[in-house]
């Protein structure tokens, strides 16, 4: 199976890969003229043949357009800032599972030092999202948004099907929250390691989110991301 890379744009019958991606192609993959790769500009996928390899640039000739199969079900992930290894693993797997948008949340119980350092980490997060999208052969990259307060993020997405993961003992199971639901867009909110505050829960419910549990076991936040996204895709996706 051919590797896929993202490019800024297709320019007629050619495309350029530059910067770190070009160095990865040239140094790590030892790309050579004549080799074939799949290229995506975020809208279309084309088969490209390498014409020229330089230190910081790889030039492709576009040979033909390929089928670009995109899911019709879109999920936004509202993920509270976690310890960085866990957060990075979560956004990598969320990208592989097809999320459309990722919004880091500055939850009340997120560690303040992690929130303060989040902006400096954003470039690293974008690189992780890019590599995961290429590996999973996506057509479009997920949008990685700036850090937001939970209350603002809930209110901004109240017109979509919202799922608010909860550790409360009386929270209904996710399968109940999804019963009889039909939607082309959904929003999944996952709290920090310390859990949501009552104020954050109230804000989510006021915005129309459905509180839901993943069961009686207490999962790590990054595990909950994968479990919930898989369940949402199974129940509502195509």
CATH 2.40.240.20 for domain 4-66, yes or no, is: yes
**pLDDT on residue 216:** 87
Show me where the domains of the chain are located: 4-66, 74-236
State the Cα angle at 144 between 189 and 222, rounded to 5°.
45
The correct answer on CATH 3.40.1280.10 for the domain covering 74-236 is yes
pTM listed for this prediction:
0.90
Give me the residues of the chain with pLDDT under 50, please.
none
CB distance 48 to 60 below 8 Å: yes
What pLDDT was estimated at residue 36?
93
pLDDT of residue 69: 79
Query: What count of other Cβ atoms lies within 10 Å of the Cβ of residue 1?
Result: 5
**pLDDT tens digits, residue range 174-194?**
998 888 777 788 999 999 988
Contacts of 68 (CB under 8 A, 6+ apart): 40, 43, 44, 45, 139
CA 38 – CA 60 distance, rounded (Å): 10
Instruction: For residue 213, list its beta bridge partners.
Output: 173
pLDDT in the model for residue 82:
94
C-alpha angle with apex 237: 187 to 39, nearest 5 degrees? 90
Rounded Cα distance between 191 and 130, Å, is 24
How many CB atoms lie under 10 A from the CB of residue 113? Answer: 8
pLDDT at 184: 85
Q: Which two tokens stand for residue 33?
A: 């003229």
| Model pLDDT, residue 91 | 98
113 closest CA partner among 87, 83, 143? 83
How much is the pLDDT for 22?
A: 81
42 contacts: CB under 8 Å, gap ≥ 6: 6, 139, 140, 141
Q: What is the pLDDT, as a whole number, of residue 235?
A: 86
Six-digit token string for 97 = 């599972």
Half-sphere exposure of 212 (CA within 13 A, CB side): 26
Q: What is the pLDDT of residue 19?
A: 80
């Amino acid at each position: 199976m051919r590797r896929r890379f993202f490019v800024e744009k297709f320019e007629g019958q050619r495309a350029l890969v530059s910067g770190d991606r070009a160095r990865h192609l040239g140094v790590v993959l030892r790309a050579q003229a004549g080799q074939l790769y799949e290229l995506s500009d975020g809208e279309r996928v084309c088969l490209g043949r390498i014409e020229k390899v330089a230190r910081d640039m790889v030039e492709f000739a576009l040979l033909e357009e390929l089928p670009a199969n995109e899911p019709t079900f879109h999920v936004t992930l509202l993920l509270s800032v976690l310890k960085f290894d866990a957060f990075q693993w979560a956004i990598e797997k969320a990208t592989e599972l097809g999320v459309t948008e990722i919004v880091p949340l500055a939850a009340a119980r997120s560690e303040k030092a992690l929130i303060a350092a989040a902006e400096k980490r954003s470039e690293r997060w974008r690189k992780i999202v890019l590599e995961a999208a290429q590996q999973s052969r996506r057509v479009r990259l997920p949008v990685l948004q700036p850090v937001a307060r939970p209350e603002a993020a809930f209110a901004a997405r109240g017109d979509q099907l919202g799922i608010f993961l909860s550790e409360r003992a009386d929270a209904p199971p996710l399968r109940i929250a999804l019963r009889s639901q039909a939607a082309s867009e959904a929003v999944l909110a996952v709290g920090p390691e310390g859990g949501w505050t009552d104020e954050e829960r109230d804000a989510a419910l006021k915005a129309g989110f459905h509180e839901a549990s993943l069961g009686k076991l207490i999962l790590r936040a990054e595990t909950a991301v994968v479990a919930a996204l898989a369940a949402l895709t199974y129940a509502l996706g195509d």
